[in-house]
Structure 1
């Protein structure tokens, strides 16, 4: 455990902080830790408020509801999006391999795995949370500004690639399917990458 940056010395009797930015940051930090440990359904707004040292009403003031707080936390308080975006630049013909490698490495990160598992559990039990995550993740992956008029084939390709990678991660890290768990990382990447490449850039097929 790290030191307690959200310790009792920073709490105020009213639960309010000097400045909206500090309050919002404290809520997001507390939510990140609790969501990673208990997922969406196992985390209450009251528990987040207690850990952040704020009044529960402030959470609704900033985020409206728990699902919105969850989606915002996953995008603002983790490096998942930044890591995936870093894999985008480069040769279009090897995009599938880069994205596959980075996504699977995220799941092998001891600090990120609990967050990713919370994402899976929450998105599969709350349609609202799933919709918000898809919307926010898509925006962040495109630099917070989606290009208008993106071809439907490109959107479908991205959705299929994400679904494929998601399914492999669930089989490997949650269901622990032996035939998938036993595959070494590099071999797994090489097995999956051609399909991901075809989803993302179907015109760039291997020679």
Structure 2
């Protein structure tokens, strides 16, 4: 029997999801108080969203993959949007280390940042969930909101805080748009020759643009001057 849409009347289970404290009505018999169970749900959610995208993934499919009752997923995370946000935050945790790339100073920051992002995209472990969120954000406003709020906003605020240049937030957004655009063209649309270009060549060509965005006192001068 095909799986239907999410049940809007799925029960909620009060309690402290972070501590695993049992709330009234929590499903009995499940070992739901352990961090291991919560992590298993998150891992299953990441796999489901990566394979099926946001729209085609349901709480029930995540529960089946994790080997738990769907009510337990609701207990820990609430609605599908919250499960998606939590799984994507876990996926993008390495990206929150971007300020480490900037800590070495402005010289060469464009190349370091390009290499950092390319390394994440080229890693098969992190590529699949990142592709899932990028694909989903293009067609689904909920997924786009998660991308803006958890991935771009959190990451960009930390990047901008490290930049000692005018308009740091705008510059960080321009740098992010460059890298996300390359990801879209190389890994999703797969436009040639970019899709099969040597990764060192991609870094070499992109680094000067990122350098200008992030470190040049007047990033438009190199173009208009």
Q: TM-score, normalised by structure 1?
A: 0.77
Q: Say which of 127, 139, 143 aligns to 1:125.
A: 139
Matched, 1:37 2:51: yes
Are residues 1:114 and 2:128 paired?
Answer: yes
Deviation per residue, 1:110-161 (Å, 9 max, x gap): 2222122112111112222222222222336767xx97xx998222111111
The answer to whether the 8 A contact 1:71-1:132 is kept is yes
* 1:54 partnered with 2:54: no
| Separation in 2, partners of 1:165, 1:106 | 11
Please report the RMSD computed on the Cα atoms of aligned residues, expressed in angstroms. Answer: 3.0
State whether residues 98 and 155 of structure 2, in contact with CA within 8 Å, keep that contact through their aligned partners in structure 1: no
Structure (1 or 2) with the larger CA radius of gyration: 2
1:21 to 17, 23, 35: 35
Distance 1:30 1:201 in 2: 40
After superposition, where does 1:1-207 map in structure 2 within 5 Å? Answer: 14=28, 16-19=30-33, 21-77=35-91, 79-81=93-95, 84-137=98-151, 138-139=153-154, 153-203=167-217
Shift of the alpha carbon at 1:183? Answer: 3.0
Q: 1:162 to 1:140 in 2, by over 3 A?
A: closer
**CA distance in 1 between partners of 2:191 and 2:144 (Å):** 24
Q: Distance in 2 between matches of 1:93 and 1:119?
A: 32
CA contact (8 A) 1:85 1:141 kept: no
Residue 58 of structure 1 and its aligned partner are, at CA, apart by 2.6
Determine the C-alpha separation between the residues in 2 that align with 1:40 and 1:47.
Answer: 12
CA distance in 2, matches of 1:78, 1:196: 20
In 2, are the aligned partners of 1:93 and 1:204 still within 8 Å (CA)?
no
Q: CA deviation at 1:47?
A: 0.9
Shift of 1:67: 2.0
Distance 1:23 1:182, change over 3 A: closer
**Conserved? CA contact 2:91–2:130, under 8 Å:** no
Q: How far off its partner does 1:81 sit?
A: 2.1
Distance in structure 1 (CA, Å) of the matches to 2:174 and 2:79: 29
Q: 1:88 to 1:16 in 2, by over 3 A?
A: farther
- What is the CA distance between 1:100 and its match in structure 2? 0.9
DSSP-derived class of the 1:92 partner: coil
The structural deviation recorded for 1:83 is 5.8
Aligned residues: 191
Q: Does the 8 Å contact 1:106/1:113 carry over to 2? A: yes
